[in-house]
Amino acid sequence: MKTIIHLILVILLVPFIGWAQAPETDVIAKTEVTRLGFITGQWEGKGWMYGQDRVRREFDQVEDIRFKLDSTAVLIEGKGFSGGKAIHNALAIVTFNKSENNYSFYSYLSTGRKGEFKGELIGEEFYWYPAENMRYIISINDKGQWYEKGEINMGTSWFQFFEMTLDKIGN
């Protein structure tokens, strides 16, 4: 009977043991990720990009960016539309990589493509690099708008192939 009572107590207390010993939030990760607070909120606006055919196409864009996991991650959800049709549907998670002293930018597309890319905060601008010769730069312009541009290195100079300007519509 004593054994059964001990077993019942162990079963009842096991969930609380893990809870009582839960590690504290990683202070460095939280500090670095909260530096990206300037992009959080709900945004909408317009943009343009050059396709592989070198034709410039315009689109409407919405972004919803939130801190997650006690502010140790940023969740980015973006959708682009052209002519009422969805042309872009993506999800990204940004965390801080302490061993590399930069950000990890995990990207997921509705097409099934995904990747992990390097990100870095340079001054007031967030850079992320989906390829060695490609970069996206996100900043807040003088009007308080999200301004993002995409560039590709053509050997000796950077060529801009993407631009987006969004207004903040909510927190």
The model scores a pTM over 0.75: yes
pLDDT in tens, 20-69: 444 666 899 999 999 999 999 999 999 999 988 989 999 999 999 999 99
pLDDT in tens, 64-104: 999 999 999 999 999 999 998 999 999 999 999 999 999 99
Amino acid 120: pLDDT: 97
Q: Where do the domains of the chain lie?
A: 26-170
Six token digits for residue 90: 């993506």
Amino acid 99: pLDDT: 94
Amino acid 16: pLDDT: 47
Look at the block and give the residue holding tokens 């060695």: 132
Angstrom distance (rounded) from CA 56 to CA 106:
27
pLDDT in tens, 100-157: 999 999 999 999 999 999 999 999 999 999 999 999 999 999 999 999 999 999 889 9
Q: Is 146 helix (H, G, I), strand (E, B) or coil?
A: strand
Name the architecture of domain 26-170. Beta Barrel (2.40)
